[in-house]
Chain A
């Protein structure tokens, strides 16, 4: 009885927030309703006995995917009121596609037969496993090892794809290169000169960088000339 009440509560809020995702005028509100929908779907998973999936839904979808959606909404910079002006023009096409989808769904739903013993399956404990998470863990890494490794490859492709698509070198940007910094020696930028009393550096050739490495690669700091006094030696 309580389970049914909780189920209907989650289901109604889920459907309602899903409708709001589509119909909200402000796209940021859509994303917030999407988060609400994720939470309610997690509640439904809990009722179905899939505790691990429910928690992952909260962690991965609410914590990460919804944030990504927010970024996308912010990045699109689309004039949404302008976008809605085409509603009347595209309504027939959209309605036709929706009608086809609805008929297909109705056809498949009418032909759907639920296996007689499937009602007990979600609550059948894996022998020996004390929890849903442990039952999953026993299957994923051994029985479904190839699918598991394929997951790893998909994640790898996603990682490389994101970098290839979005990372570009900015020549104007100043990056810190620790190796170059550590490789710098005083001889690159520092020249010791011995000046007599009252002489200026101009008479001795002026400020100039040591010939060598610094000629090819410019250094950000100007060359320093330090008077060669005995206490600065060594």
Chain B
């Protein structure tokens, strides 16, 4: 148990460094910079003109479709990692089983391609 945590000590070091740099930048500008806020400076900035309306607008459902398709292929890739690591030990059967898995998802990929789900009109 301790071995696992010890392995991740470098990650902890990086996290601490990242937080330190981010905090130093924020805190440094907070301490060293001159703060003269007024209403115009604090208002939402949109390329020099007034913000049109609320940012909480309805999105087109097509964004949702793109992100669902991304998740599915993300999960497909997640299955590839242990397969690639253990490929030398699982033999031809393991190789073919992954090929069948990829084949099923390729069917779906061809389907979405032919349906035009990847086009952005």
Contact = CB atoms under 8 A, between A and B. Distances in A.
A131 B86 CA distance: 10
Contact of A77 (B57, B76, B84, B111): B57
Q: Chain A CB within 10 Å — which of B84, B86, B87 has the most?
A: B86
A158 interface: yes
B116 to A, nearest CB: 7
Contacts of B71: 60, 64-65, 68
A140 B98 CA distance: 10
Contacts of B90: 137-138, 141-142
A48 B119 CA distance: 43
A84 B54 CA distance: 20
Interface residues of A, number: 53
Interface in B47-66: 56-59, 61-65
Given A68-B68, A160-B108, A136 B82 contact: yes
Contact of A155 (B62, B72, B121): B72
A155 B78 CA distance: 13
Contact of A123 (B1, B61, B83, B84): B1
A22 interface: no
Interface string B67-78: 111111011101
A80 to B, nearest CB: 9
A129 B82 CA distance: 11
A71 B107 contact: no
B85 A133 contact: yes
Interface stretch (B2-10, B22-30, B34-42): B2-10
Given A60-B74, A67-B67, A159-B111, A46 B8 contact: yes
A220 to B, nearest CB: 16
B85 A149 contact: no
Contacts of B74: 59-60, 63-64
B57 A162 contact: no
A49 B4 contact: yes
A175 B69 contact: no
A51 B7 CA distance: 11
A148 B97 contact: yes
B64 A75 contact: yes
A60 B78 contact: yes
Contact of B1 (A3, A68, A74): A3
Given A2-B2, A142-B93, A152-B104, A68 B64 contact: yes
25 contacts: A46-B4, A47-B5, A52-B81, A60-B78, A63-B74, A64-B71, A64-B74, A68-B64, A68-B68, A75-B58, A77-B57, A131-B85, A134-B89, A137-B86, A137-B94, A141-B82, A142-B91, A152-B100, A156-B105, A158-B68, A159-B68, A159-B111, A163-B117, A166-B68, A167-B117
Given A64-B70, A77-B56, A155-B105, 7 more contacts: A71-B64, A74-B56, A75-B58, A75-B59, A123-B1, A152-B101, A167-B115
